[in-house]
């Protein structure tokens, strides 16, 4: 293991500073703290991501679609998180055999769609996210949880298989937070509101949001609401 990647368990690295794969999109201030596994995020945590020269050899000649990993802003990844990409890897449970014979691999491989992790999401150590999963804003994924289904915003998921044990806030509070979208504020405003963001006072944050010029403009025009977290802007 490359222990020089992280010098101490308290150290973290912003993903925008380390990512090299063009099929990973990440928002600002999202970090990985990987001391205990000793590798960069895209070397250890993101598995079977198509698009490199070797994997392109096994795709169909006319297949231009590649599943991407899209991560929002202000996310926290603990050491050893695994995000599985690449669809079914050529293993089809509906066939007599799940063995991916080389001559059949191109037609056996089925993509699952982009994996999307919203904003302000915390993934605990060694949590595993399966292909095509969408995780909403503000969700928490517990240590070693196995997530095979979409997760709604501000839900807490634990266990194997992953199950929702609670919603962090009331429905009304979650709706407010999804409209506030504090992570999209200018960084100066975000860091100016650290005291409120690091409290449970959602009503006060809502009042501040309503006083912002951008919020007043938004209230003048109708917009379709999204329940699941959206990709970073």
Residues 34 and 144 in one domain: yes
Q: Which domain holds residue 34?
A: 3-167
Residues 97 and 203 in one domain: no
177-182 average pLDDT score? 97
> What pLDDT, on the 0 to 100 scale, is given for residue 151?
98
**What percentage of the chain reaches a pLDDT higher than 70?**
86
Question: pLDDT for 186-224, tens place per residue?
Answer: 999 999 999 999 999 999 999 999 998 866 555 444 444
Residues 91 and 194 in one domain: no
Residues 102 and 177 in one domain: no
65, part of any domain:
yes
Residue 35 has pLDDT above 60, yes or no: yes
Residues 128 and 196 in one domain: no
**How far apart are alpha carbons 121 and 15 in whole angstroms?**
14
Question: pLDDT for 195-205, tens place per residue?
Answer: 999 999 999 99
Residues 86 and 44 in one domain: yes
For position 67, which CATH number holds? 2.160.10.10
Question: pLDDT for 50-97, tens place per residue?
Answer: 777 777 776 655 455 789 999 999 999 999 999 999 888 889 999 999
pTM: 0.85
> What pLDDT, on the 0 to 100 scale, is given for residue 216?
56
Residues 97 and 183 in one domain: no
Number of domains in the chain: 2
Contact 141, 162 (CB under 8 A): yes
Residues annotated as catalytic (active site), given as ranges: 91
230, part of any domain:
no
Residues 90 and 110 in one domain: yes
227, part of any domain:
no
Residues 18 and 83 in one domain: yes
Residues 117 and 29 in one domain: yes
232, part of any domain:
no
Residues 82 and 196 in one domain: no
225, part of any domain:
no
233, part of any domain:
no
Question: pLDDT for 104-142, tens place per residue?
Answer: 887 888 889 999 999 999 999 999 999 999 999 999 999
**How far apart are alpha carbons 210 and 180 in whole angstroms?**
8
Q: Can you list the positions of beta strands (E) in the chain?
A: 13-14, 24-26, 31-32, 46-47, 69-71, 76-77, 82-84, 115-117, 122-123, 128-129, 134-135, 140-141, 146-147, 155-158, 163-167
């Amino acid at each position: 293991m490359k222990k020089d990647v992280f010098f101490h368990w308290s150290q973290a690295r912003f993903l925008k500073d380390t990512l090299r794969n063009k099929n990973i999109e990440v928002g600002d201030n999202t970090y990985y703290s990987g001391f205990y596994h000793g590798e960069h995020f895209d070397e250890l945590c993101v598995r079977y991501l198509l698009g490199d020269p070797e994997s392109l050899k096994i795709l169909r000649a006319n297949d231009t679609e590649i599943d991407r990993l899209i991560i929002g802003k202000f996310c926290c990844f603990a050491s050893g998180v695994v995000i599985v990409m690449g669809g079914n890897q050529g293993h089809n449970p509906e066939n007599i055999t799940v063995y991916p014979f080389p001559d059949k691999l191109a037609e056996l491989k089925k993509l699952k769609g982009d994996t999307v992790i919203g904003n302000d999401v915390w993934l605990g150590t060694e949590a595993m996210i399966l292909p095509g999963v969408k995780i909403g804003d503000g969700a928490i994924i517990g240590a070693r949880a196995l997530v095979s289904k979409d997760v709604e915003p501000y839900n807490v998921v634990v266990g194997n298989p992953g199950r929702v044990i609670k919603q962090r806030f009331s429905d009304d509070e979650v709706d407010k937070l999804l409209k506030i979208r504090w992570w999209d504020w200018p960084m100066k405003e975000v860091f100016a509101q650290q005291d409120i963001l690091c409290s449970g006072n959602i009503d006060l944050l809502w009042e501040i949001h309503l006083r912002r010029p951008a919020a007043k403009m938004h209230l003048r025009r109708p917009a379709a609401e999204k329940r699941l977290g959206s990709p970073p802007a």
